[in-house]
Structure formats: C-alpha cells, structure tokens
Amino acid sequence: MQHHNESAASPLAPEWLAVPEDVNALHAPMWAADVRRNDDAELAIDGIPVSELKAQFGTPLFVMSESDFRARARSFKDAFDAAFEDICGGVDVYYAGKSFLCTAVASWVAEEGLRLDTCSGGELAVAARAGIDGANLGLHGNNKSDAEINRALDMKLGRIVVDSLDELERVAKIASGRGETVKVMLRLTPGVHAHTHEFIATAHEDQKFGLSMAEDSTEAAGLSAAEEAVAAATSYPNVDLLGLHCHIGSQIFEPDGFAVAAEKLLGFLAAMQDKYSIVLPELDLGGGYGIAYTPVDTPRPPAEIAGAMAAVVRSKCAELGITSPRISIEPGRAIVGSSTFTLYEVGTLKTVRVDAPAGAAGQEAAGQENVTFPRRYVSVDGGMSDNARPVLYDADYSAILASRASDAAPQLSRVVGKHCESGDIVVRDIYLPEDVAAGDLLAVPGTGAYCWALSSNYNYLARPGVVAVRNGSARLIVRGETEEDLLNRDMGVANV
C-alpha cells in the first residue's frame, strides 16, 4: 500500500469543501458582524480577544454578540413590517425560543419589538422571569401537559398553538373549568416538504406534528383533520379561534416551500371562513430560515424573504377575494445562530491514513489502487455534549484557528470531542493549518441555535457557560455548570 502526500485538495474531503486561499480568513456570513481578527491576528469579538475570554471564563464557551443578535432581530421585524404594511399592517415576529433562550435573550427580544414563541412550561418560566407580557407569548408543543396549559392561562397567553383534535378538546375543557376563554391557533400540516434533513422537515404527513389537511386523515366522512378541528373549535363557546399555523421545516434557503404553504393555508382559510361563516384573523407561516454553517450555504437577507412571501400573500388574497389575515412568523436560528461561536481549546492530535474513495482523483493520479491519504483528528475540550447536531442530524460546521494566525499549509482535519463515542464529531471536514497544536484555541461559528439548547452532561461534563459581548465588555448570561452543580442532584450519598 502506497502513501500519498496530501495534495491541495484531499480526495477524502467532500466535494463542496474547497481548500481555502487564506486559512486565516473569516467567511463573513458565518460570523457575527463584530467578529474579526485584531492587530495581533487573534480572533476578537467587539474588540475582546478570545485569549481574554478563555482566561476569564474558560473553555468550552459559547460567545454571543448581543449587538448582532439585536440587529438580526430588528432586521426581521423591520423587513417584514415594511413588506406587509399594505397587506395587513405589518407582521408579528415571534422569536423561536427553542433555538436558544435565557432571561437576557427574552428581554432583548421584547426590547427589539418581537414576541416570543415557547414550547414548554420551562420556557414559559423563563419568559415570566424576564417579565414578558403574556399577550406577547405563544405556546407550542404536540403534548402539552395540563400544568403547562394552566400556566399558559395563568399568564394570559396571546395564543396556544393546538396540535391535535385531542389537545383541542383538552384545552377547551381546562379553560371551561376555569371559566375562561382561550385563544387558539390550529397547527396544520400542508404537506410541503422542506429540502432538508428528514428529522427536521416537519410539514409532511407521517410525523407527530399538526393536523393533516388531507381529506382521508380523519374518521369524519369527507372532512380532513384540519377541517374537523375548525368545526370543533368554533363549537366551543370558550375557544377564541384566532387562525391557522404551519411550519414546513428548518434550515431552508429557497422561498418556494413557504410560497406553496402560504397558498394552501390561505385557500383553506378562505374555505373555512365561507363554510362556517367565521373570520380567522391570523395566519402564522412559521420559521425555518437557513443560516451559513459553511461557506457554501447561501442564506437570504430578511428583506428578500419578506418580499417574496408578501408577494404570494398579496396575490393569493386578491385571487380568493379575501382580506389578508394578520401574518406572523417565527425565526429562531436565523436570529441567534450566527450571533454566536463556540470557543474550544485544542488537546491531542493524531493523523491516520485512509483509503481514498473508489474513483477519487487521487487514486487516478497515483495510477494504482490502495493509495492512502492523511486525515488529522484535532481533539477539543468539548464535543457532543455542547453540540449534538452533527450526531443527530449529520450537520456540517466550520472552524478556524482563533488564538493566532498561521502561515502553514492547510490540512484536511476532523474536529472531534472528548467523549467516549466514535460519533463525537464537532466538525466532520475542515482545512486547518498544519501547525495547529495543543493549547491553540479553535472557534466554531454558527452555534447559537440548538447547541446550548440541546447540551447534555454526557460523561458527566458540565455544560458550558454563555457569554454576551457588547460595547467592548463581556458578561455571563448563563453560568457554566460546575461539578458541584452535578453532584448536588445526586441523592445516592448524603451531602456532608
């Protein structure tokens, strides 16, 4: 078996991954606007170098730009208000708290004029602690507990998004028992497939979310589950049916799916208003707007998304001869994702030799079979406990040497965590400088959404803290856990 020196492009790399012209350069769409290299070539956020953040807060560490988060939140609100002003007077933008939520973030959301979407009693508790008005909150979930429904009513939520006929009956019964009226939206599955990973494409029929719009989806003759829910909701005297909701998936770049979903839901809304002589004043078109995790991702600016969606709603409402409902949307990842990077310290490194894939350019160039190529494993002090998305969704990320610049040649690398799992991969394929060494700091961008939120204590690792940076100063908005935090919950041995 012959060893082959790694060429400019490794045959082991995926086709989309290009060798960087400058291994130190930042690809701007993946980063917060105030992240750049300083005069010492060290990565800095709002002027604070990563070495200072490491010294003060340790690693791993989620590092968030508060200014960037606020700017992205404002850009969605401003763009959608402008695009829909002539259609329905603007748009209600609900930040999807499931992507990342703490009391500081909830406060920023409110201060920037957005509302907040929650999915559990715990997220409602965060909103309450942050002082968010219940009228500006929504509650999602396919299996809300009685306690969560009661909490939503206690807080006088602006909407409960009902996910099934069973749940509609339960929400109505609880509200009736309290002598209250409950504001409800019905989550429908319009059958639109997002071009994304199966587990996060949530609008197709064979999944747990929503009421099907297909006519054979219920035992009631000739009625879809969605229409049966409309009929039931209008029959309950204590249910205020606000309108309809859908969510077609996540990490979506093209507007086509949103357009089809909007057309289907507006058509259904018009039919229901006519058949049941009701007015459904609201329509939520969900979220799922993509961000740049790698240089080949092409996110669209909010103004472009808003313009495309407004054109569809305007046209469809005119075709149907109806007044447009008040539109709402639910961006989460698109606001918080690129506002944050994760800072790690490099530990052990090793290089292995790997057979080139059959038909790879490297094999052909070598003129024989069984040529091997190097893949370097770069271990960091976190892993799947602070970013579960690669193992859950096969998600791709990028990384950069953050503590210094390097003149070394790029080498195909795999950034891995410290957990006892072979699938503990943070970045599957990335070109990093050949001279990356233990003690260096790496930064992985785009980790604001669904990283801290999905974090765990696997192998009894304490979950990292979250630092917010603004105006040249950094502060913890979520304290990192300690071993004492973990042991305080272990009731096997009496605390002494």
**How do 410-416 and 425-433 pair as beta strands?**
antiparallel
Question: What residues pair up with 351 in beta bridges, in sequence order?
Answer: 376
Pick the closest to residue 346 from 418, 398, 409, 425 (CA basis).
418
Task: Convert 434-480 into a string of H (helix), E (strand) and C (coil).
Answer: CCCCCCCEEEEECCCCCCCCCCCCHHHCCCCEEEEEECCEEEEEECC
Active site residue 420: yes
Catalytic pick from 88, 102, 317, 420? 420
Among 177, 126, 112, which residue's Cα sits nearest to residue 149? 177
AA identity, residue 87: I
**122 CB-near residues (< 8 Å, 6+ apart):** none
The answer to whether 297 and 61 have CB atoms below 8 angstroms apart is no
As a whole number of angstroms, the distance between CA 355 and CA 351 comes to 13
Please give the distance of CA 96 from its chain centroid, rounded to a whole number: 8
Angle between helices 225-235 and 256-276 (to 10 degrees): 50
Ramachandran assignment for 299, one of left (phi > 0), alpha (psi -120 to 50 degrees), beta (any other): beta
DSSP H helical ranges for 277-328: 302-320
Residue 245: name the closest of 214, 278, 287, 308 by CA: 287
Active-site residue set: 420
